[in-house]
Structures are given as C-alpha cells and as structure tokens.
Homo-oligomer: A and B are copies of this chain.
Amino acid sequence: MRLSTRGKYGLYAMHYLAQHENDGPQSLSHIADIGVPKQYLEQLLGGLRRSGLIRSVRGVNGGYQIAKPSSEITVLDILDAMEGPLELSDCIANGRCCSKAPQCRVRDMWEKLTDTINHELNSVTLKDML
C-alpha cells in the first residue's frame, strides 16, 4: 500500500503555502521549486482550489494562497482532495460486501482501521508541520 505522488505533492505544496501564509499570492513557478513538475503541479493546485483549500489570483503578480488559516487545514483535508476518500476495501466503500456481512469480522477490521487512519490524519494540521 503506497500513497500516490498526488498526495505527497499536494501536501508539499500546501506546506509551502502555509509557510507563506501572510506573504500574498505565491506563483506556480515559485511553488514548483519544491521539486514538482510545473504543469503537473498546476493540475494538482486546480484540485486543491476546487476543494476550497486554496484561493487563486489571476494575472500579473497572481498566484495561490491558502483559503483558511493553517491551523484549520488538516492533512486529511489535503489527502481527501488529492486522492479521494480513504477506501481500503470496496466492501466498506460501496456497501457491496460478500454474502456473510454483517457478521463479518474482516469487515469490522477494515472499518476500525479506516477510522483510526482518518482520525490520525485529521489530528495533524498544516500549522503543526511548520
């Protein structure tokens, strides 16, 4: 089980923007200096914007900035925006379980683990990582 680069890059970009929380909009080129291909990063930032985590300013001297204080943005917010919700098993995800549900202990384990991970991710804010 491995996280995709989307999640990683998104987190790094948000980390950068949190560092410049009060410095006005940061241009794509500047953010890309963290080591992400510029055009690919542009896509990812689009997703973060559509999720309401960042704002963009167009035109000269434009760029991106976080839409909320860094203390109100969690790692879970970012990963959900970049990768969609955590769905360990389609048994959990879409309710299409095997015939043995609901007394299936394997399913119980998936659910518990999903909760644990989400809780952990939601307990860390961007501010915590500065």
Contacts and interface: CB of A to CB of B under 8 A. Distances in A.
Q: What is the oligomeric copy number? A: 2
B129 A2 contact: no
A32 interface: no
Interface residues of A, number: 35
Chain A interface, >50% SS class = helix
Interface in A1-44: 1-4, 7-8, 11-12, 15, 34-35
Contact of A87 (B2, B91, B117, B120): B2
A39 to B, nearest CB: 20
A1 B98 contact: no
A89 to B, nearest CB: 6
A51 interface: no
A117 B113 contact: yes
A106 interface: yes
Given A8-B89, A109-B124, 12 more contacts: A1-B7, A1-B86, A2-B87, A3-B88, A3-B89, A11-B106, A15-B106, A34-B98, A35-B98, A105-B130, A109-B129, A113-B120
